[in-house]
């Protein structure tokens, strides 16, 4: 009898704990104007699913855009919006402090959750119905400003930006070459079933250093090919002083 009572109490405790776990979803716009100097580039739809232990950021996914390789007009510039079936995915597991990504080149990357040294200041502004506070950081080649809300005291944000004491609703680098803006927040939401680890068909994950080296090699080869073409055709090319700016993480030793 005593044993049954203990099992009953443990079951109630577990059910109570589960009922307190809330799943939320943030809908963002993500403008990518890498190397363009201002927010005039491709405008994608993106989502951030989260609960108390993990988050999943998704962008450039067909179902979010409704069209594959669609065309959008952004401030008098026309861009082809390149998406794919699964999208680019970024999964942050707080329990294991591990970050998984389906990233550029459809590479499956695993690394420790990045530690970002944020500088929180007193500036505030209202984003939607949420009181937000400003924070800044330098992270992998760019300086970011983020606006986070303590109304959802969880350390998540778009892409790899995370680690603040509240949810990031807006973020951008110095020239807004990468710019995440807030559309909507549902918290709690009914989308817990979608908050799952990234499916890796080979279950083989490369390190971040390998991922970085692969992109640097591709960039160097592309730069070399452009120079060869220029020499053959006699048409001069403009070479960016830092071509690594074409990536969100500014890769390359320039």
C-alpha span between 54 and 63 (Å, rounded): 22
Q: What integer best gives the mean pLDDT of the chain?
A: 83
- Taking CA 197 as the corner, what is the angle to CA 194 and CA 198, rounded to the nearest 5 degrees? 100
Residues 65-70 have a mean pLDDT of 58
Residue-level pLDDT at 197 = 97
C-alpha span between 162 and 118 (Å, rounded): 9
Structure-model confidence comparison of residues 70 and 152, the more confident one = 152
pLDDT tops 50 at residue 1: no
The answer regarding whether domain 23-200 maps to CATH 1.25.40 reads: no
pLDDT tops 90 at residue 77: no
Closest to 116 (Cα-Cα) out of 71, 171, 68, 73: 171
C-alpha span between 245 and 49 (Å, rounded): 28
C-alpha span between 131 and 35 (Å, rounded): 32
Sheet with 119-127, edge to edge strand ranges: 119-127, 130-139, 142-149, 167-173, 178-186, 24-32, 42-50, 54-59, 88-93, 98-103, 107-112, 206-207
C-alpha span between 132 and 35 (Å, rounded): 28
Residue-level pLDDT at 242 = 62
Distance of CA 158 to the CA centre of its chain: 4
Residue-level pLDDT at 118 = 98
Closest to 182 (Cα-Cα) out of 139, 131, 144, 142: 131
Q: 80 pLDDT band (50/70/90 cuts)?
A: low
pLDDT tops 90 at residue 254: no
Q: Which of 10-14, 102-106, 176-180 has the lowest mean pLDDT?
A: 10-14
C-alpha span between 253 and 114 (Å, rounded): 21
Segment 203-235, tens digit of pLDDT? 999 999 999 999 888 887 765 554 444 444 444
Locate the domains of the chain by residue range. Answer: 23-200
Segment 182-193, tens digit of pLDDT? 999 999 999 999
pLDDT tops 50 at residue 153: yes
Q: 246 pLDDT band (50/70/90 cuts)?
A: confident
Segment 99-152, tens digit of pLDDT? 999 999 999 999 999 999 999 999 999 999 999 999 999 999 999 999 999 999
Residues 61-72 have a mean pLDDT of 69
Closest to 154 (Cα-Cα) out of 195, 194, 123, 122: 195
Segment 25-53, tens digit of pLDDT? 999 999 999 988 899 999 999 999 999 99
Q: 158 pLDDT band (50/70/90 cuts)?
A: very high
């Amino acid at each position: 009898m005593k044993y049954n009572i203990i099992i009953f109490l443990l079951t109630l405790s577990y059910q109570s704990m589960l009922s307190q776990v809330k799943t939320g979803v943030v809908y963002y716009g993500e403008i990518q104007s890498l190397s363009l100097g201002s927010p005039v580039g491709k405008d994608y739809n993106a989502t951030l699913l989260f609960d108390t232990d993990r988050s999943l950021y998704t962008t450039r996914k067909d179902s979010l855009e409704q069209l594959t390789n669609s065309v959008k007009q952004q401030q008098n510039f026309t861009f082809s919006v390149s998406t794919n079936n699964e999208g680019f995915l970024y999964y942050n597991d707080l329990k294991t402090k591990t970050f998984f990504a389906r990233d550029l080149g459809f590479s499956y990357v695993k690394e420790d959750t990045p530690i970002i040294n944020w500088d929180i200041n007193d500036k505030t502004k209202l984003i939607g119905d949420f009181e937000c506070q400003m924070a800044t950081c330098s992270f992998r080649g760019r300086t970011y400003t983020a606006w986070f809300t303590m109304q959802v005291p969880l350390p998540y944000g778009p892409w790899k930006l995370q680690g603040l004491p509240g949810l990031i609703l807006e973020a951008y680098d110095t020239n807004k070459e990468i710019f995440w803006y807030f559309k909507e927040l549902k918290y709690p939401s009914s989308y817990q079933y979608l908050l799952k680890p990234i499916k890796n068909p080979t279950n083989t994950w490369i390190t971040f250093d390998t991922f970085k080296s692969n992109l640097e090699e591709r960039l160097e080869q592309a730069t070399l090919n452009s120079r060869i073409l220029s020499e053959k055709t006699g048409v001069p090319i403009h070479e960016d002083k830092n071509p690594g700016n074409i990536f969100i993480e500014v890769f390359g030793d320039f």
